[in-house]
Structure 1
Amino acid sequence: MLSRTVFFSALFLLLPLLSGASANVVDRSVAVVNDDTITLSEVNEFGQPLFKKVADEVPADRREAALQEARLAVIDKLIEKKLIVQEAKKFGLLVNDQEVETAFQRILANSKTTEEQFRKDIAAEGMSEKQYREGLREQILSSKLINHEVRTKVVIADSAVRDYYNTHYITVAEGGEYYLKQIGCIWGTATPSGATPSQEEAKQKIEKAHALATKGKDFKELAKEYSDLPSATEGGDLGHFQQDEMAPFIRDAVIHLKPGEVSPIVEHDNAYHFFKLVSHQQGQAVAQEPFDEVKEQIREKLYQQALEQRFKDWLTSIREKAYIKVL
């Protein structure tokens, strides 16, 4: 459940409340949401990071207006939070302490840190563990509500996946074009990571990537992980080439390949390379990736887009039905 709530935690700003509201401030209501109120202390606590950022970064002559705008934005997010909690209560949705503990331990495991270090980290942000856990409880509750009211109602049809694929993954190749992908490992010069590998290190790296590619591992992901070339950010995509447009060392490596095959490793200048021939067609539709390899990625992308839109529509509908007044 938590792995899919990251998107929503960012969307809702359901973050743990931060300490720091002044004890000398007389609390008062700043907004009414149905039968609940939002207090000044809630706004100060929830908005503390944003207010600090504005105070630190906005010039003095615009600071007051920027702070007022930030306060209104914080109040609006707190209104959303109140509405979500109210809706959850309508359906009898609750979060027990064990669910919070399980989520907390999962976060520790994913961040590869200890409880002690985690407490120090959040303390540095002005936050206690209790406050963090309460924020986590709200995230879990929101996720349950979203499962109940939004997520279960989103279905991505196979036809939508195919339409997206045909629009974004299909191109028409000119006569005799080769569509190539590449992975390259360099030595003797700095890589994008800042390291300067030796020739032996580059050779070991390319051989590992090549072995994985020949076993059918996703070439795009391998390129992003192993390639030191600029094309790595594009998943190794080199694009389409006529045979006479290719450098000789590339042409010799791919000329005898069949679509889908991976070339041997070749050495050129201070780098080892190998290539994947995605397609070699003449005036036909060319798939950048096989449909079966990307259909679930497409489905997930479309699902997230539909989920976000449905949530926005759902939240708009409950706002329209609610009594909301900013004081």
Structure 2
Amino acid sequence: MQQRESVDSTAVIPQEAFDWYDEYAHGLIDRREFLNRLAGLAVLGLSVPLITAALSPNYAQAEQVSFNDPDILAIYQTFPSPDGHGEGRGYLVQPAKLEASAPVVLVVHENRGLNPYIKDVARRVAKAGFIAFAPDALYPLGGYPGNDDQGRAMQKNLDRAKIEADFIAAASFLKSHEQSNGKLGAVGFCFGGYVVNMLAAKMPEQLDAGVPFYGTPAAEQLRANVKGPLQLHFASLDKRVNATWPDYEAQLKANAADFQAHIYEGVNHGFHNDSTGRYAEAEAELAWQRTIAFFQEKLG
């Protein structure tokens, strides 16, 4: 099932700048090329510092649930990852008044480590009544460095297969948590969306609900394993990721998988991230409401 929605918004930054930022953020062009392209927009009266400030994260804007919110308890927790980097570490957040078991949700970051936005997403998940766990792929290198550009470079230098093994180990660790009800969900963004799709392909019997936001599918040879349930979110202006969707959708249909896909009109890759100029509040809120409702339905 696929639905399209449109929510009115006013764009100030030209679409080319968003497209170039996406290329830069995913390693298709380097920072010099990105800035050179932005300089060409000066004729429109937009300075490079103005555009880069709007596109770069301001994490002070991204806190929707405070780390000391009385409704949650947050700690850092290590877990074994024998097929990955040996040991992983993540941000574990659970409802403060949890008296019995609860569903668990893995929260997977973008391609730059466990930044403040993703930690806030984990707190939002816990605020909704789930036990949330957000691993940091950069833990073997000391963890998220406090800077997205540096974090992106660090993650790029790690062994991709070991990173994936770490997230598989984290999912297994979380599903067997002493207060887990045995139902595992996963939500991820960008690279994290890919990880959710990968988990759906590599551990279909263990993943009870997956929500990839603008994520590419798992390797083609694995896609026949995907059963769902999946709820997929896409941005209509995200050409790079959307180009992978038709083949993936066809495979999901061939699998008779349980899935639903939502494409949000007029928004960019990263529209859920409320720390940058790509954020689209109405669409992000709608997608998040759907995400929580989906987890409530599938995980109990």
TM-score, with normalisation over the residues of structure 1?
0.22
Q: Higher relative contact order at CA 8 Å, sep ≥6: structure 1 or structure 2? A: 1
Structure having the higher strand fraction is: 2
Structure having the higher helix fraction is: 1
Q: Which one has a bigger Cα radius of gyration?
A: 1
